[in-house]
Structure 1
Amino acid sequence: MICIKGVLLLIVRIALLATASLCPAYAAAQVSTAPAEPVAEGGDDIVVTGRAQRLYRTETTTVGKVAEDPLNIPQALQVINSELFVDQGARDATDIYRNISGVSFFSYAGITFRGFRQDQSFYDGMRGNPFIGFSVPQLFNIERVEVLKGPAGLFFGPGSPGGIINYVSKMPSETAGLRTVVTGGNYDRVGISAEATGKVDADGIVTYRLGGFYESMDPWRRNTQNKSLIGDAGLSIRTNEGGKLTLQATIYDNDLQANRLRGVLTDDDGNFLTDIRWNANEPTDFLHLKSEAYQARYATTIGDRVTFDAGVRYFKATETQQYHEPRGLVAGNPDLVAREFRDQIRDVDGLSFSTNLSARVDILGMEHKVQTGADWYDETSVLDSRILRAGVTPLSLSNPVYTTSARDVARAALLPFTRTDTRTKRQGVYLQDQISLTDAFLLVGGIRYDKFEDRVVDAASYEDDDITLRTGAIFKPRKDVSLYLSWSQSFEPQTAASQNVDVGGPFAPVTGDQFEGGVKTDLFEGRLQANLAAYRIVRKNILQADPSLPPVNGQDQLRPIGEVTSKGFEIDLSTDITPNWVLLVNYGYNDTKITGTIAGQAITNAVGNRFANAPKHKVGFWTRYQVPVIDTAFAMGGEHVSKRISLSGQTVRPYTIFDASITKGLGFAELMLRVDNIFDKVYAASGFSAQSGHFPGEPRTFLAELRFKF
């Protein structure tokens, strides 16, 4: 492991040096490792005739751990690829949520997924998210984002029943290329990035990818400044016919001034009490994330019926924060917000391993696709925190006066750090069989065994195991239409602190069971993809205090008596209206309610019988029209999110926003001009608490990208 890490660290250093030398030479930017696009007859323009016919389409997905046709997976899923990232100017994960039905923003990297809050992410099918705490995943080195909806316990082990997001990394390629991008916009946004791929040797046995990204801006919130740096490198080695070993290394450095960024206070009807630029943080407050990830993956085919892959991923991240936390209005003064000062350091490192094997075998005249695999994960998470609660100057909503926070920093430094040291271990093995009863009728069944251990050093520890199942049936009346039914499960271990015998522990995990039915299509040679899914998820064993039982050693007795039911349906449409006009539309309806509890007790993230930031209706669309004769593409998108409630029960008002862009081919380059929130709508992207307010959405924002491709 140390040897691999050393080699990968050397690669990423070379990448940064190479990027530094490339940027001045080419003016810098963003490359995609997607297959080269066909060039329009009579020119080398980047905007090409016929591009719309490719849609933003991926014919296979690895969201089930091995490559599979989406029509053969008995659960709803979506794949967002790098072409859509580029066309929409997407920078981080929050920029793509509008493309995913059933998903909406909650806070930072957290989302609401089919009614449930979820903040877990996977990279190339493995645990190990380098964006810990309050940082959002970046897309610069991501080829596509795969979203599996509903319980995903069979393949990914413990997790929320709403679904999972898997980020698939860009890979080295034999195709030689360099793409650079120079970025500018309002709020003093400037950026430059470069990516290169190609062969190391003449035969392409060894290929590489190098990339570097830098962007800086001063967002609309007062005192804020964001600087992001990414260095990424990969090396692939063809080890045998059909086999490849890929080594990758990535470093991230996010420096966010006047963060951790909370919301803006509102009244109970969801109206902001002041300008959305208001910020509880002083100019000297900050959040700084430094992380690195190293990964080695080997994949091979054995004949035309067997595939095998294995991967190991290590990441280490440190997030340092010094910030002023809003604590609601000062009693008796509707203009002053109380604050406290927090000094926190999060150190997280994790090591994961995953392996998968699939084989097609014929038994009794039926083809079986047997798939098996195992994964292992070990994480250490240490939080050092000290909080200064007394003597911190309140801040006015109407006329905030910011001063240096040196006094608060000095006073907090006299306090001791409180350390929380958490150790997490996950081990799992699964087996699935996909049986082709006929060419049109498939049965799918799988089982997984997990063993897990959670320990808070000097506090509590707990270990247990669980079984997860998934079954499904798929009927294809024609090769491009798939009707399916499925039942899938998930589980989440209870927190280690809740397993104490004094509170009634240990307790079995929280479970999630989903019944889902739907139809997927890939009509007209893929020019029309329309999917419909309806689901019902029941989440059980949620711990609550039972007031009918007397306390033990001064602690309330917990019991797994909470239950939540999520019901809804989703529609996704992707189509070529004409050879030059593409349209993407998604709609999600969700109704999540508490269906089992006891009077006077609350379930986490719920208010009454409803869940925070869970909209009943969410609509997103994107359409792009190309005019080949002038090498120009016009695009427009939008999003509507219905009324929600915050964690404090305050209304989060519905909103509808629109974006637009123009992409012009210049022969030697491509220029994109984009405007977000065209009508400068003031809205809340999500609600949080009455003390820290709602998260305001981005006001009207302009972005320009000049893209060079060599």
Structure 2
Amino acid sequence: MKNFYCFLSAFLLLQNILIAQTYIKGKVVDQDGEPLMGANVILSNDHGTIADYNGNYMIPDLISGTYTITATFIGFMPQSQSITVKEQENSTLDFMLIASSEQLQEVEITGRREKSYKNNLTFAATKTATAIKDVPQAVSYVTKEVFADQQAYRVNDVIKNISGVNMYSYYDDFTFRGFRSGDTYINGLRVVGLFGPEPLLANIERVEVIKGPASAMFGNSIPGGIMNRVTKKPLAQDRKSINFTLGSYNTLRTTADFTGPINEKETLLYRLNLAYENSDSFRNLQEFKSYVIAPSISFLPTDRTRINFDLVVTNFDGKLDRGQPIFGATAGTDIYATPVSFAIGQTSDFHKSDVVYSTLSLNHQFTDNLSFNASYIKYLFDEDLEEHRTSNQFAVDSNGSPIPTLMGMQVITRQGQTIADNLSTYFVYKTNTGAIEHKIVAGFDYNEQKQPVGNAQSFARGYLLEGGGSSNSAADFANFLRDESGNPIPNVPHFDLQNPTYNVARLSDYIFENSPADPTKYYSYGFYIQDQIKWNRFQLLIGGRQEYYNDLANFDQPDEEITTQNKFLPRIGLVYSATPNINLYGTYTESFQPQGVASLNNPQAGGPFDPINAYMLETGAKGEFFNNRLAANLAVYYIENNNILVNANDTNNPELLRQRGQEESKGIELDINGRILPNFSLTANYAYNEATITESDNLEEIGTSKENAPLHQGGIFGKYSFLHGKLKGIGFTLGSNFVGERNTLEPTLQLPSYVVMDAGVSYEVDKFSIRFLINNLGDKTHWVGGYSYTRLYPGTPRNYLLSVGYTF
């Protein structure tokens, strides 16, 4: 009892002291509301304190007056605020610190601390850690926090959050500002484009798209933009989580993410991402079995040297979905003629592939002003395919006329490997000339892709011939073997669209032609220099790249052929800080796409052909609002693309090519990401894009919109969470995206516009979370992309996902 009275007396004495004092208290957090333990909070008279474990601080013993208080924390920009206090009136002053790009390395080695829809920095756009609002070019992104709230598992699930990007098919296949995607990038390094399995997100920190030509940084690339996937990196703080998901179409998924320091000095960090999926699909025959194993290590031996190593092993086991066929092939054909679940194939078909890649990155600071940066990636893609697929035409009757309910078929078997190597090295030098600041980048990179000896495929297609064998040529129509009705007999049975059947196919029933693939290789390299100049409110980015592209046919064979193309690629951009929160910018940049050696050296193709080249003019504004929690980017652009190579459709020479003179893309884009309130997150986008053919020898093409390039598209997704009261921990999500009408490769076939809504609810308590999401709430029938009447790509009907997660 005596001890109790002593404790009570001390408590009352402390309470009286606090009541009698004048003090300032508050909390220091980052942009995501996470407390910054150890942050320094200093008064203008050098009186201060340190934030505790929860980010709270208190400065007692103050007299009346006005104070300037500054909060600082390593890796964040200092923040100062003024406050006036009166005698015996206590005040509260909170700080939200913003991550500082100036204290980060130039290669993205250490992980992103933030946990928000907003991302502040990009490395790929300028080769340096640059605030996105200081980049004179549109850069859109989706963070892993959006992945989680939308329960996205593949890249195709999240591109609806990016303006100006549209799906072309189910594969890693998109349009950027109306131009079809080309190569894929991981951590700013070029790898093999996966025309098949959709890339998984389990080990991805964010997906970012650098809009418009990016050749000045990456060499040969399409004019619409590039997609860069940034992998998760180790963090210096312990974070561990595991998540389980189930849902429609027998979906079962699990993911795990572990990171933290390995040693006490925190010079060795690790991260391990794991994922597994086993699920079906709304599409007939389709299934998804995949796993990801992705360890990562960061080594920070000194404060001037950082090294990171990533290894990613991904396995895909399913079928290659070639899309939905519909009846007929003429104007007015009903796009709803077959159900969206309708797929062509056989039960025994399969598509197995393995993707393995490793990345090694180094950043070394020689001095405070000079650093060296290097990144290398080795990427291997192995494929084993057996598929029954459409021959892209309908069956023909005895007169050679199409039968709109019977689909022509072919069988393809393929085994092969593609290997990519990409090395990027550059120096960054920071200096001043008077009041002008310079950040100079000078570098060299090398990219190589090859298909080695041993790649091969075989085809079974066409119609049986009277004398034996088979033919896929219309010139042999008179010699086709006929049935009792006089119709040609196919090598692979036609697929009946009215009465579909699925079987375990016997490949021995077909006549195959073998097609061994000649070994191929291309390599490119470039030298570039860039200067980011800052003076007063102006930032000028000026740079150039000399690119050399080399394409080898029959690689490492006696008849090896090489074609070399090169081009100088300039880039210039200006940023003006109109206010502390709003930047205005303008840019001019070019792109370069060399023609392949197969086209250039084929006498039947009609070459030689000039490389595809394009330029872009873009202007816009970038701003940060709501105490820098919300970012908004507005872009207006014009792109001109020249020398596009297309088939001439010459019946006498099917290999003849022609260069379609010119294409244009112009439009407006808006992207918004971040938080309006600490408990209200938002991502929204809108794009108006006119992508048309403007010059062509075929007059009917002029003025035509490019394929899978909608005039309007956009979307919005938000999450509101309750922080107090009886509903504390409950969150609601609501989203919608729309896509306008799109042309396909068939002039008479257009995909309809659509609007799709999603809604969900979540509950978080302590370290436990549960999320429930319904996608396509209105069960809207829609198509996300398509090629022709035989290959359409429908969107998923209404479906649900339920996930349970635990953080420890």
User: Which TM class, normalised by the smaller chain length?
Assistant: 0.7 to 0.9
Letter matched to residue 316 of structure 2: N
Aligned residue for 2:413? 343
**Percent identity at matched positions?**
27
- For 1:588 and 1:648, the matched residues in 2 are separated by 24
Aligned residue for 1:325? 389
8 Å Cα contact 1:528/1:574 also seen in 2? yes
- For 1:115 and 1:209, the matched residues in 2 are separated by 37
Q: Show structure 2 runs of 5+ residues with no match.
A: 1-29, 37-52, 55-95, 98-113, 397-401, 462-489
Aligned residue for 1:58? 119
What do the CA deviations read for 1:198-243 (whole angstroms, capped 9, x no partner)?
2222212222112221011011111222101111111221132132
Change (3 A) 1:333 1:499: closer
2:498 maps to which of 394, 398, 401:
398
- For 2:267 and 2:673, the matched residues in 1 are separated by 37
1:255 Cα deviation after fit: 0.3
8 Å Cα contact 1:61/1:79 also seen in 2? no
Please state if 1:359 is matched with 2:429: yes
Counterpart of 1:417 in 2: which secondary structure? strand
1:459 Cα deviation after fit: 7.5
8 Å Cα contact 1:245/1:296 also seen in 2? yes
Aligned residue for 1:618? 713
What do the CA deviations read for 1:408-460 (whole angstroms, capped 9, x no partner)?
x2245854233143211010121111222x32112221100111111221585
1:76 Cα deviation after fit: 0.7
* TM-score, normalising length: structure 2: 0.77
Please state if 1:110 is matched with 2:106: no
1:450 maps to which of 533, 547, 554:
547
Aligned residue for 1:86? 148
Aligned residue for 2:378? 314
Alignment of 1:60-459 (within 5 A): 60-64=121-125, 65-107=127-169, 108-129=171-192, 132-257=194-319, 259-265=320-326, 268-269=331-332, 271-327=335-391, 328-331=393-396, 333-381=403-451, 383-389=455-461, 390-406=490-506, 409-411=507-509, 415-436=513-534, 438-457=535-554
Aligned residue for 1:540? 642
Alignment of 1:670-689 (within 5 A): 670-689=769-788
What do the CA deviations read for 1:315-335 (whole angstroms, capped 9, x no partner)?
111121111112343345433
- For 1:588 and 1:279, the matched residues in 2 are separated by 32
1:546 Cα deviation after fit: 8.5
8 Å Cα contact 2:248/2:799 also seen in 1? yes
Alignment of 1:447-526 (within 5 A): 447-457=544-554, 460-500=561-601, 502=603, 503=605, 505-526=607-628
1:601 Cα deviation after fit: 8.8
What do the CA deviations read for 1:247-274 (whole angstroms, capped 9, x no partner)?
11111100014x2432332664562321
Q: Which moved more, 1:391-400 or 1:588-597?
A: 391-400
- For 1:635 and 1:149, the matched residues in 2 are separated by 28
Aligned residue for 2:44? none
Change (3 A) 1:212 1:558: closer
1:643 maps to which of 741, 750, 763:
741
What do the CA deviations read for 1:589-617 (whole angstroms, capped 9, x no partner)?
11111112113697xxxx97221111000
Aligned residue for 1:654? 753
Counterpart of 1:71 in 2: which secondary structure? helix
- For 2:667 and 2:526, the matched residues in 1 are separated by 30
1:698 Cα deviation after fit: 0.6
Change (3 A) 1:504 1:338: closer
8 Å Cα contact 1:260/1:323 also seen in 2? no
Q: Which moved more, 1:134-143 or 1:155-164?
A: 134-143
Counterpart of 1:334 in 2: which secondary structure? strand
1:521 Cα deviation after fit: 0.6
Aligned residue for 2:762? 663
What do the CA deviations read for 1:57-87 (whole angstroms, capped 9, x no partner)?
1221112222101122111111221111111
Counterpart of 2:508 in 1: which secondary structure? helix
1:631 maps to which of 698, 704, 729:
729
Change (3 A) 1:405 1:367: same
Change (3 A) 1:440 1:631: same
8 Å Cα contact 1:208/1:234 also seen in 2? yes
- CA radius of gyration, larger in: 2
1:179 Cα deviation after fit: 0.7
Counterpart of 2:121 in 1: which secondary structure? coil
8 Å Cα contact 1:669/1:707 also seen in 2? yes
Please state if 1:563 is matched with 2:649: no
User: Which structure has the higher relative contact order (CA within 8 Å, separation 6+)?
Assistant: 1
What do the CA deviations read for 1:451-489 (whole angstroms, capped 9, x no partner)?
111122158531121110111121112222111111100
Q: RMSD value over aligned CA atoms? A: 2.8
Change (3 A) 1:462 1:235: same
Q: Which moved more, 1:119-128 or 1:539-548?
A: 539-548
8 Å Cα contact 1:639/1:658 also seen in 2? yes
1:492 Cα deviation after fit: 0.2
Q: Which moved more, 1:231-240 or 1:423-432?
A: 231-240
- For 1:35 and 1:532, the matched residues in 2 are separated by 22
Q: Which moved more, 1:359-368 or 1:311-320?
A: 359-368
Q: Show structure 1 runs of 5+ residues with no match.
A: 1-33, 45-49
1:366 Cα deviation after fit: 1.4
